[in-house]
Amino acid sequence: MSYDRSVSASPHELTPETVWHVQMPQIRVGRGAVRELGFQLDDLGVDGDARGLIVTDETLAGIGHAGRVADHVEDRGFDVDIYDDSEREPSIEAVEDCLSFVREEMDEDGYDFYVGLGGGSCLDTAKATRAVVANGGETLDYVAEPTGSGEDLTDSGPPLVLLPTTAGTGSEISPVAILSVAEKDIKEGISSNNVRADAAVLDPTLTTSLPPDLTAKTAMDALGHAIEGYTTHRYDELLRPEDPADRPVYAGRTGFTELFSEKAIDLLSSNVRRAVNNGDDLEAREAMLKGALYGAIAGLTAGASLCHAMAYPVGNKYHTYHGETIAVLTPASTLGYNVASDPDRFADIADMLGANTDGLGTRAAAGRAREEFVALQRDLNVLPSGLHELAGVTEDEIDWLAEQTVDTQQRLLRCNPCPVTKDDVAEIFRDSLHNWE
Ligand SMILES: [Fe+2]
- CA–centroid distance, 336 to ligand 1, in Å, is 18
CATH class of the region 33-202 = alpha beta
- CA–centroid distance, 174 to ligand 1, in Å, is 11
- CA–centroid distance, 306 to ligand 1, in Å, is 11
Q: How far is CA 263 from CA 96, 113, 177, 223, 283, in A?
A: 38, 33, 26, 11, 16
How far apart CA 62 and CA 282 sit, in angstroms, is 22
Rg of the chain, C-alpha, whole Å: 21
- CA–centroid distance, 233 to ligand 1, in Å, is 18
- CA–centroid distance, 308 to ligand 1, in Å, is 6
Question: Where on the phi/psi map is residue 436: left (φ > 0), alpha (ψ -120 to 50), or beta?
Answer: beta
Per-residue pLDDT at 13: 62
Return the CATH superfamily for domain 212-431: Dehydroquinate synthase-like - alpha domain (1.20.1090.10)
Per-residue pLDDT at 55: 98
- CA–centroid distance, 396 to ligand 1, in Å, is 26
How far apart CA 81 and CA 104 sit, in angstroms, is 12
SS3 98: helix
Per-residue pLDDT at 88: 87
- CA–centroid distance, 314 to ligand 1, in Å, is 13
- CA–centroid distance, 418 to ligand 1, in Å, is 20
Q: What is the DSSP letter of 394?
A: -
Domain with CATH 1.20.1090.10 in the chain: 212-431
- CA–centroid distance, 220 to ligand 1, in Å, is 9
pLDDT along the chain (437 residues), means of 10: 43 80 95 97 95 97 97 96 94 95 96 97 97 96 87 95 95 92 76 94 97 97 97 93 87 96 98 98 98 95 93 91 96 98 97 96 97 97 98 97 92 91 98 96
**The overall pTM is greater than 0.75:** yes
- CA–centroid distance, 170 to ligand 1, in Å, is 8
Q: Which residues pair with 186 in a beta bridge?
A: 181
- CA–centroid distance, 196 to ligand 1, in Å, is 16
Domain with CATH 3.40.50.1970 in the chain: 33-202
- CA–centroid distance, 224 to ligand 1, in Å, is 7
Q: How far is CA 238 from CA 227, 247, 351, 406, in A?
A: 20, 10, 29, 20
Q: Is residue 111 a contact partner of residue 134, using CB atoms and an 8 Å limit? A: no
Per-residue pLDDT at 4: 43
- CA–centroid distance, 250 to ligand 1, in Å, is 13
Nearest to residue 288, comparing CAs of 165, 381, 130, 403? Answer: 165
Nearest to residue 232, comparing CAs of 161, 302, 182? Answer: 302
Per-residue pLDDT at 7: 47
